[in-house]
Amino acid sequence: MAKSEQQKLKERLDRVFSQYIRLRDSKRGYCKCITCGDVRFWKDRMHCGHYISRGILITRFDENNCNAQCESCNLWKDKNEMQLSYRESLCEKIGDGLVRALEQIRHKVFKVDENWYTEKIEYYQKKVNKILDKL
């Protein structure tokens, strides 16, 4: 089955948003995994890790919900252990109040359209380009 235009836009936003999060969390191109502390180049097996699952659309592209996370922590390690470690690190980074807010909004209905995706893609592409220009 062919992908809808909205699905294609969502995938494009996933890519540029992931680039932005990893670059945002980097210093001179190197970022630290929020859960284990491993430091890697932003393109070297670093992911945009989500505290609240990326399956929840309302927090999928929320900058407070997303942080640089190594591939191992994001994909392979025990999810319950990683969730606890992620929450602890996230509370240190953005504060307990914002973490609790993320946990509460995850249950809200959030609907978007193609224009929303297009605007977000443009917004994050500009932010990525700005950071890359400084590297």
pLDDT at residue 2 in the model: 78
Asked if the structure places residue 1 within a domain, the reply is: no
Question: Which two tokens mark 134?
Answer: 């400084």
| Inside any domain, residue 8 | no
The answer as to whether 4 is a domain residue is no
Provide the residue range defining the domain that includes 54.
25-122
Looking at the 3D structure of the chain, how many domains does it have?
1
pLDDT in tens, 67-86: 999 999 998 777 777 888 99
> How far is it, in rounded angstroms, from Cα 28 to Cα 41?
9
Q: Rounded to whole angstroms, how far apart are CA atoms 30 and 15?
A: 18
What is the tens place of the pLDDT at every residue in 122-134?
A: 999 999 999 999 8
